């Protein structure tokens, strides 16, 4: 899907991270000026290495926890795509203070800096974790439950702050509740790696992946290109109904972890037939995990013309090719 967006100056916080670096790439391809703001706590230099020679790309090393860094980064910026955060439910359970400092304190700094520097629109990464213990399916934006982790609290607080900054200061905001995003440049390593790259890496190494629980927990896995589309549409929309609100960003489908494993083994077996015989290990359920996640994307379709092109299988085929070449 084509989105016309060019010759703007756009700040991507967390621009060296998985989602941020994919956004930087697409914005540069569309001939925008891109400022990447990252402290490399979880972002990686290799994710943005290819952009450093581009005259339209500027890297600012800094920390969203420092207001002066945020003010510097937002100077002369048209739009902000705020992706910087400490992700991971388990990380927030282990260290809630740092998660809060970055995700709440840092978020507030970015809102203040955007307000003070006259940013036109602030689009931010929200999270499906906000749905908490709500059992309603599919998830619709207006019905949320009680948060199940410190991380979920921080992402909900982001939405509340954004709403207040819209109402009080007139800053245009759009929150995008991402559902289990995957794709190229997603890190398979470390204690808090996302499930898809972690499983891919283990299968490629001939190791048995460990699924938390019986594998029947389900997720609305969302390929990175769907997420890029939602961000670009959020920047260009002139529909007044579309701003100062939040949207689910997903495909609008449900797959269990067992389904995921079947697809991964099938697609990776094209590269190495032995992978199809690797056994899967089942472990205990993980603290703070939501059992099922399935998004309604009707609101984004209606207000933003969001039209996701990649279901899990189609996205996995592309992602697996990238992982095979790059891991």
> What residues act catalytically?
151
Alpha helices in 38-100 (DSSP H): 45-48, 67-73, 89-94, 96-100
Cα(265)–Cα(301) distance, integer angstroms: 32
- The torsion angle over the Cα atoms of residues 307, 128, 212 and 224, rounded to 10 degrees, is 40
10 Å CB burial of residue 218 (0-12, 13-18, 19+) is buried
Cα(283)–Cα(99) distance, integer angstroms: 26
Beta pairing, strands 245-249 & 79-82:
unpaired
Cα(182)–Cα(199) distance, integer angstroms: 12
CB contact at 8 A, 155 and 129: yes
Cα(264)–Cα(198) distance, integer angstroms: 11
The sign of the torsion formed by the CA atoms of 260, 84, 227, 45 equals negative
CB contact at 8 A, 200 and 272: no
SS3 4: coil
Place of tokens 């970055």: 102
Q: What is the DSSP string of 149-197?
A: SHHHHHHHHHHHHHHHHHHHH--EEEEEEE-SEE-TT----STT--HHH
């Amino acid at each position: 899907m084509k989105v016309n967006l060019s010759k703007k100056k756009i700040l991507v916080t967390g621009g060296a991270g998985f989602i941020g670096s994919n956004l930087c790439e697409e914005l540069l391809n569309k001939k925008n000026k891109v400022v990447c703001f990252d402290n490399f706590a979880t972002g990686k230099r290799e994710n943005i290495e290819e952009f450093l020679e581009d005259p339209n790309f500027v890297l600012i090393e800094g920390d969203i926890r420092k207001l002066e860094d945020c003010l510097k980064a937002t100077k002369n910026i048209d739009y902000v795509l705020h992706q910087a955060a400490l992700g991971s439910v388990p990380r927030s359970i282990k260290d809630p203070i740092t998660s809060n400092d970055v995700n709440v304190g840092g978020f507030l700094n970015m809102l203040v800096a955007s307000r003070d520097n006259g940013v036109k629109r602030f689009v931010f990464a929200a999270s499906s974790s906000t749905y908490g213990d709500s059992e309603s399916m599919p998830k619709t934006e207006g019905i949320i439950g009680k948060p199940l982790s410190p991380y979920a609290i921080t992402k909900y607080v982001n939405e509340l702050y954004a709403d207040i900054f819209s109402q009080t200061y007139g800053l245009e905001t759009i929150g995008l509740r991402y559902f289990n995003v995957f794709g190229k440049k997603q890190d398979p390593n470390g204690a808090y790696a996302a499930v898809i790259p972690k499983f891919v890496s283990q299968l490629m190494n001939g190791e048995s992946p460990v699924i938390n629980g019986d594998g029947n927990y389900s997720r609305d896995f969302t390929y990175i290109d769907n997420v890029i589309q939602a961000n670009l549409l959020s920047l260009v929309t002139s529909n007044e109904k579309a701003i100062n609100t939040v949207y689910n960003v997903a495909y609008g489908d449900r797959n269990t972890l067992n389904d995921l494993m079947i697809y991964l083994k099938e697609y990776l077996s094209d590269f190495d037939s032995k992978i199809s015989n690797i056994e899967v290990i089942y472990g205990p359920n993980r603290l703070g995990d939501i059992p099922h996640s399935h998004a309604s994307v009707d609101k984004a379709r209606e207000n933003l013309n969001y039209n996701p092109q990649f279901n899990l299988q189609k996205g996995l085929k592309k992602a697996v090719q990238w992982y095979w070449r790059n891991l």
